[in-house]
């Protein structure tokens, strides 16, 4: 801190006041002074001065008090650099003593003077002298009796009379506020809001506008918008004969501001003051370039502006507020984009638990898919479907989910699992469907057989009980709290269009079905970056055909199953191409982790036995023979493509047939075909030769030409290291950061949820690496892969398509490296588009 700096600075239009030296409130008050608003005389104390005060170095207060001659009552408020970091509460009426009581009694009447004095004694006793609050809050008497009770109580508790010297009072007030800022709990609180360890506190000392006395006197707050909706509406409260923010706490005793049918208003009581306030607020909005809430006092009809703070607002309100500021020519589009936190858009995209609702939390888990929903507990996909058929919203509760549960997920309003992590089956599918999901809630016990959940605190919830899954916060609540509906209004669309014009990296969607694709288009995704084709077979009818194909022993049985799958896939792909209207569609060849497709219970085994016309015992044996110890490292991805080539051949034939059909209806479609889980360049070579052969056959059969692009998913560490060899023979590479994270850490994406919180709590990992990209390790592999590939093939298109694709931090990382696009779940596209725009601005 600068030792030459004056310890008090009068707030004038030209005084050297900055948020970084005197705090945001001091700076804002200076702006109000510059606008010539009726702001009472104010001085600012710098961070350095307040720091010295906390350490026992009290400056010469006569110099400070001399700024307020003739001596007036003062108020002291905190001024931290960022208002969100908080600070000690304001203290009003400093300087009140027996002498000023006599003076004020003459001016305002004894009643008002006593009331002001009593308030100050009470505040001082509790917040400065730190006496027992109960003693002072119990005093019922008003007026002079109340005052003498308070003074007596003070003397008894403090064992000395109430201090009469204004300089002593002020010194004690400044000291207590400075110390409060240095306290441990205040420090932890502000650090949780992003304040640095050494964040400073400034203080502003302002002459009081009293708000009590003869004529119309009082105080209140006013803003020009509704905080929830962001729509223009004069909101706030006013209370006659009050000070500070009392009007807000006074409930029905306080007045509305504008005349309407809700009851008496400030406009009725003091029309002139009301008009003035509106004008001041409009001027502040225009010149401070933000929606502001003003704190005002009326003194015998005269308006004083004491303070201005940024209007507190919901995420929904904020979007409309910034869009309106642009439309009114006050801020630029770029500024508006920078004023919206990308993750806050989640609040607009999904229903949420009302922040004011009472929350009875019964379990915590991983917030796998945002939004909230209320429904009755069911424990199986079949019960979920039955519940949906009855029109009863239900929540599917499972230890973990598998493809057999997907139909149940479709029928549910939310999902809760005991196991799993950010990229486990339930999480990936939940996000794709936009279904609120909490996974890995290890603190509960699920007993499907007894149809019970045992909550963290031992409470038992039965099938049919009503719970709420809050996938935004990773909490499960008992009962049905109040909700706020999703709201995608015109201002959201406008903001998204502006974001699109700025973003320098494309945003595609991971979309597996026509429904996903339609959502992705609705959010203006720049194409599909990943269609996981195995997800097209979750439908009960289709799942069995898929299982038949996986299970077929003899080539002719497999052929028969594939013949059934072919027309389904042609229809699927044709539909995707149609919906995406010529935008790129990247189709990944089958990557079914086999365990996800094996029947997991007796009913599933029986269904499969029926479909295959085999005894259950045969099917059970076959299932057992296919079981793998590490299915995620087993016969997946291209390994299945190499060992059972007919599967990929069927899929690429379907893609080409669909290409020809869709091209007939519009511009030629150029499909992108992607090979998953590659770890050796030779895998690509083999698959490519087969795809080329199918392409030649389809061209021949139809007598028509078409083009396609071939790409590889880089999701094993080896593929990153060999990226140069792989890139030289393909058109694009897409980095699958889910598997890459799993394999880099040697951490199962399905099971890590069990101990992830222990790892994060002990700071072994900064965050769940399945959620936030691990820049140091996985990021290094991405960098190596990216650079080697680029050097070997300058034209190769590169992207990431793991779940990280939708995270603002990962987008920054990808843009920094030079990736062409990121691909994420459809509902995360808007968040990603905004984050990409902010990166570019």
Q: Which is nearer to ligand PEP, 400 or 715 (CB)?
A: 715
144 Rama sector, left if φ>0, alpha if ψ -120 to 50, beta otherwise: alpha
Tokens of 752: 């890590």
Q: Give CA–CA dist 121/114, Å, rounded.
A: 10
Q: Which of residues 299, 683, 739, 839 is near Mg ion by CB under 5 A?
A: 739
Q: Least distance (Å) from ligand PEP to the CB of residue 635?
A: 14
Q: Least distance (Å) from ligand PEP to the CB of residue 435?
A: 17
**Is 425 noted as a catalytic residue in this protein?**
yes
* Binding at 532: pick from Mg ion, ligand PEP, none (beta carbon under 5-8 Å per type): ligand PEP
Q: Which is nearer to Mg ion, 625 or 630 (CB)?
A: 630
Are 324 and 290 contacting, i.e. CB atoms less than 8 angstroms apart?
A: no
- Report the binding-site residues for substrate: 532, 588, 715, 736-739
* Binding at 277: pick from Mg ion, ligand PEP, none (beta carbon under 5-8 Å per type): none
* Binding at 681: pick from Mg ion, ligand PEP, none (beta carbon under 5-8 Å per type): none
From residue 537 to residue 576, the character string flagging contacts with ligand PEP as x (rule: CB under 6 A) and all else as - is ----------------------------------------
Indicate whether 779 belongs to the interface with ligand PEP (CB under 6 A): no
Contact window for Mg ion (CB under 5 A) among 102-110, 493-501, 657-665, 714-722: 714-722
- Counting residues that bind ligand PEP (by CB under 6 A) gives 11
Q: Least distance (Å) from Mg ion to the CB of residue 738?
A: 5
Indicate whether 715 belongs to the interface with ligand PEP (CB under 6 A): yes
> Among 171, 32, 173, 9, which residue's Cα sits nearest to residue 92?
173
State yes or no: cis peptide before 648, omega within 30 of 0. no
* Binding at 276: pick from Mg ion, ligand PEP, none (beta carbon under 5-8 Å per type): none
Q: Which residue is nearest to ligand PEP (CB)?
A: 736
Q: Which is nearer to ligand PEP, 78 or 802 (CB)?
A: 802
* Binding at 547: pick from Mg ion, ligand PEP, none (beta carbon under 5-8 Å per type): none
* Binding at 525: pick from Mg ion, ligand PEP, none (beta carbon under 5-8 Å per type): none
Q: Which of 217, 394, 801, 824 is labelled catalytic?
A: 801
| C-alpha torsion 557→558→564→567, nearest 10 | -150
Residue 537 DSSP symbol: G
Q: Give CA–CA dist 418/446, Å, rounded.
A: 7
Q: Phi and psi of 423, rounded to 5°?
A: -120, 20
Q: Which is nearer to Mg ion, 91 or 781 (CB)?
A: 781
Neighbouring residues of 343: CB distance < 8 A, sequence distance ≥ 6: 808, 831
Q: Which of 127, 410, 425, 804 is labelled catalytic?
A: 425
Give the relative orientation of helices 110-123 and 143-158 as an angle to the nearest 10 degrees.
30
- Report the binding-site residues for Mg(2+): 715, 739
Q: Which of residues 503, 802, 806, 826 is near ligand PEP by CB under 6 A?
A: 802
Q: Give CA–CA dist 501/840, Å, rounded.
A: 10
Q: Least distance (Å) from Mg ion to the CB of residue 798?
A: 16
| C-alpha torsion 359→363→367→370, nearest 10 | -40
Q: Least distance (Å) from ligand PEP to the CB of residue 674?
A: 10
Q: Least distance (Å) from Mg ion to the CB of residue 453?
A: 31
Q: Phi and psi of 257, rounded to 5°?
A: -90, -45
Residues 585-624 that bind ligand PEP (CB under 6 A): 591
Q: Which of residues 202, 365, 736, 805 is near Mg ion by CB under 5 A?
A: 736
- For residue 501, the SS3 value is helix
Q: Give CA–CA dist 465/788, Å, rounded.
A: 55
Q: From the CB of residue 588, how many other CB atoms can be counted at a distance below 10 Å?
A: 27
Q: Which of residues 532, 622, 653, 788 is near ligand PEP by CB under 6 A?
A: 532
Tokens of 668: 């030629």
> Among 798, 794, 795, 800, which residue's Cα sits nearest to residue 779?
800
Contact window for ligand PEP (CB under 6 A) among 80-88, 218-226, 732-740, 826-834: 732-740
**Is 586 noted as a catalytic residue in this protein?**
no
* Binding at 313: pick from Mg ion, ligand PEP, none (beta carbon under 5-8 Å per type): none
Q: Give CA–CA dist 412/394, Å, rounded.
A: 5
Q: Give CA–CA dist 364/69, Å, rounded.
A: 59
* Binding at 801: pick from ligand PEP, Mg ion, none (beta carbon under 5-8 Å per type): ligand PEP
Q: Which is nearer to ligand PEP, 532 or 790 (CB)?
A: 532
From residue 736 to residue 755, the character string flagging contacts with ligand PEP as x (rule: CB under 6 A) and all else as - is xxxx----------------
Q: Which is nearer to ligand PEP, 26 or 801 (CB)?
A: 801
Q: From the CB of residue 818, how many other CB atoms can be counted at a distance below 10 Å?
A: 11
Q: Which is nearer to ligand PEP, 311 or 677 (CB)?
A: 677
Are 588 and 530 contacting, i.e. CB atoms less than 8 angstroms apart?
A: yes
- List the Cα angle 126/130/135 in 5-degree steps: 50
What residue ranges in 55-118 does DSSP mark as E strands? 74-80, 91-94
Between the alpha carbon of residue 306 and those of residues 16, 174, 297, the distances in Å are 20, 19, 7
Q: Which is nearer to ligand PEP, 217 or 428 (CB)?
A: 428
Q: Give CA–CA dist 500/525, Å, rounded.
A: 10
Contact window for Mg ion (CB under 5 A) among 43-51, 445-453, 463-471, 715-723: 715-723
* Binding at 207: pick from ligand PEP, Mg ion, none (beta carbon under 5-8 Å per type): none
Tokens of 551: 């299970």
Q: Which is nearer to Mg ion, 683 or 739 (CB)?
A: 739
> Among 772, 771, 743, 748, which residue's Cα sits nearest to residue 678?
743
- Report the binding-site residues: 532, 588, 715, 736-739
Q: Least distance (Å) from ligand PEP to the CB of residue 822?
A: 11
Q: Which residue is nearest to Mg ion (CB)?
A: 739
Neighbouring residues of 597: CB distance < 8 A, sequence distance ≥ 6: 403, 534, 543, 546, 547, 550
- Counting residues that bind Mg ion (by CB under 5 A) gives 3
Q: Least distance (Å) from ligand PEP to the CB of residue 769?
A: 12
Q: Least distance (Å) from ligand PEP to the CB of residue 802?
A: 3
Burial of 402 (0-12, 13-18, 19+ CB in 10 A): buried
Q: Phi and psi of 674, rounded to 5°?
A: -125, 135
Q: Which is nearer to Mg ion, 572 or 591 (CB)?
A: 591
Q: Which of residues 801, 824, 832, 836 is near ligand PEP by CB under 6 A?
A: 801
Q: Give CA–CA dist 686/682, Å, rounded.
A: 6
What residue ranges in 769-814 does DSSP mark as E strands? 797-800
Q: Least distance (Å) from Mg ion to the CB of residue 474?
A: 24
Q: Least distance (Å) from ligand PEP to the CB of residue 738?
A: 3
Contact window for ligand PEP (CB under 6 A) among 257-265, 371-379, 433-441, 730-738: 730-738
* Binding at 802: pick from ligand PEP, Mg ion, none (beta carbon under 5-8 Å per type): ligand PEP
Q: Which is nearer to ligand PEP, 446 or 530 (CB)?
A: 530
> Among 270, 257, 262, 592, which residue's Cα sits nearest to residue 248?
257
- For residue 616, the SS3 value is helix
Q: Give CA–CA dist 359/802, Å, rounded.
A: 33
Q: Give CA–CA dist 399/409, Å, rounded.
A: 14
Q: Phi and psi of 273, rounded to 5°?
A: -60, -40
Concatenated DSSP letters of 388-400? HHTT--EEEEESS
Indicate whether 641 belongs to the interface with Mg ion (CB under 5 A): no
Binding site for Mg ion (CB under 5 A): 715, 736, 739
Catalytic residues: 425, 801
Binding site for ligand PEP (CB under 6 A): 428, 530, 532, 591, 715, 736-739, 801-802
């Amino acid at each position: 801190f600068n030792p030459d700096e004056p310890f008090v600075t009068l707030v004038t239009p030209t005084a050297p006041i900055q948020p970084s030296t005197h705090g945001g409130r001091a700076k804002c008050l200076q702006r109000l002074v510059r606008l010539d608003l009726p702001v009472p005389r104010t001085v600012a104390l710098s961070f350095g001065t307040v720091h010295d005060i906390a350490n026992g170095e009290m400056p010469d207060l006569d110099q400070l008090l001399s700024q307020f001659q003739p001596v007036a009552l003062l108020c002291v408020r905190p001024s931290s650099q960022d208002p969100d970091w908080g600070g000690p509460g304001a203290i009003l009426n400093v300087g009140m003593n027996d002498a000023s009581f006599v003076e004020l009694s003459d001016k305002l009447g004894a009643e008002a003077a006593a009331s002001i004095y009593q308030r100050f004694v009470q505040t001082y006793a509790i917040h400065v002298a730190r006496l027992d609050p109960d003693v002072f809050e119990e005093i019922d008497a008003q007026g002079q009796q109340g005052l003498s009770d308070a003074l007596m109580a003070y003397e008894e508790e403090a064992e000395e009379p109430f201090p009469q010297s204004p300089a002593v009072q002020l010194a004690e007030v400044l000291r207590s506020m400075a110390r409060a800022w240095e306290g441990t709990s205040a420090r932890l609180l502000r650090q949780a809001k992003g304040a640095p360890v050494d964040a400073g506190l400034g203080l502003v000392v302002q002459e009081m506008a009293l708000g009590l006395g003869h004529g119309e006197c009082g105080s209140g707050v006013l803003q020009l918008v509704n905080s929830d909706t962001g729509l223009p509406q004069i909101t706030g409260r006013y209370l006659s004969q009050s000070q500070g923010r009392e009007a807000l706490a006074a409930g029905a005793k306080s007045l509305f501001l504008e005349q309407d049918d809700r009851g008496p208003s400030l406009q009725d009581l003091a029309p002139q003051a009301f008009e003035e306030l509106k004008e001041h607020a409009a001027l502040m909005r225009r010149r401070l370039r933000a929606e502001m809430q003003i704190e005002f006092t009326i003194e015998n009809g005269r308006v004083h502006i004491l303070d201005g703070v940024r209007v507190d607002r919901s995420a929904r309100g904020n979007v409309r507020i910034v869009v309106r500021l642009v439309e009114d020519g006050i801020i630029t589009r770029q500024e508006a984009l920078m004023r919206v936190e990308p993750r806050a858009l989640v609040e607009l995209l999904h229903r949420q638990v009302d922040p004011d609702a009472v929350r009875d939390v019964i379990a915590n888990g991983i917030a796998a898919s945002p939004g909230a929903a209320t429904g009755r507990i069911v424990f199986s996909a079949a019960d979920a479907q039955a519940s949906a058929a009855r029109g009863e919203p239900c929540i599917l509760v499972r230890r973990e989910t598998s493809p057999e549960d997907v139909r149940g997920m479709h029928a549910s309003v939310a999902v809760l699992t005991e196991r799993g992590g950010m990229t486990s089956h339930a999480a990936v599918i939940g996000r794709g469907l936009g279904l609120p999901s909490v996974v890995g809630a290890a603190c509960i016990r699920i007993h499907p057989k007894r149809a019970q959940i045992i909550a963290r605190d031992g409470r038992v919830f039965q099938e049919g009980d009503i719970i709420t899954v809050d996938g935004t916060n990773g909490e499960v609540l008992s009962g049905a709290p109040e909700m706020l509906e999703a709201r995608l209004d015109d201002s959201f669309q406008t903001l998204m269009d502006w974001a699109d014009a700025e973003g320098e990296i494309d945003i595609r969607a991971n979309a597996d079905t026509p429904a996903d694709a339609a959502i992705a288009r609705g959010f203006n995704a720049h194409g599909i970056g990943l269609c996981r084709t195995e997800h097209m077979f979750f439908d009960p009818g289709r799942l069995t055909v898929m299982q038949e194909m996986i299970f077929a022993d003899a080539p002719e049985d497999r052929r028969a199953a594939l013949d059934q799958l072919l027309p389904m896939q042609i229809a699927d792909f044709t539909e995707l191409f149609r919906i995406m209207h010529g935008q790129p569609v990247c189709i990944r060849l089958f990557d079914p982790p086999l365990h996800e497709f094996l029947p997991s219970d007796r009913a599933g085994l029986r269904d499969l036995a029926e479909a295959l016309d085999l005894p259950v015992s045969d099917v059970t044996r076959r299932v057992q023979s296919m079981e793998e110890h590490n299915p995620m490292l087993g016969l997946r991805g291209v390994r299945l493509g190499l060992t059972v080539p007919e599967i990929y051949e069927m899929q690429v034939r379907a893609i080409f047939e669909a290409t020809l059909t869709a091209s007939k209806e519009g511009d030629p479609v150029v499909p992108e075909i992607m090979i998953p889980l590659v770890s050796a360049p030779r895998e690509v070579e083999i698959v490519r030769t087969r795809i080329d052969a199918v392409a030649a056959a389809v061209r021949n059969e139809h007598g028509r030409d078409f083009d396609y692009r071939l790409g590889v998913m880089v999701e094993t560490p080896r593929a990153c290291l060999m990226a140069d060899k792989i890139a030289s023979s393909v058109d694009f590479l897409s980095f699958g950061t889910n598997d890459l994270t799993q394999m880099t850490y040697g951490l199962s994406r399905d099971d890590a949820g069990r101990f992830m919180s222990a790892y994060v709590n002990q700071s072994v990992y900064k965050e769940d690496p399945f959620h936030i990209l691990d820049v140091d390790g996985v990021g290094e592999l991405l960098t190596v892969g990216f650079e080697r590939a680029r050097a070997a093939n300058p034209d190769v298109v590169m992207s990431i398509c793991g779940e990280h694709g939708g995270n603002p931090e990962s987008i920054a990382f990808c843009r920094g490296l030079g990736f062409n696009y990121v691909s994420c779940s459809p509902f995360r596209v808007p968040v990603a588009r905004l984050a990409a725009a902010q990166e570019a601005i």
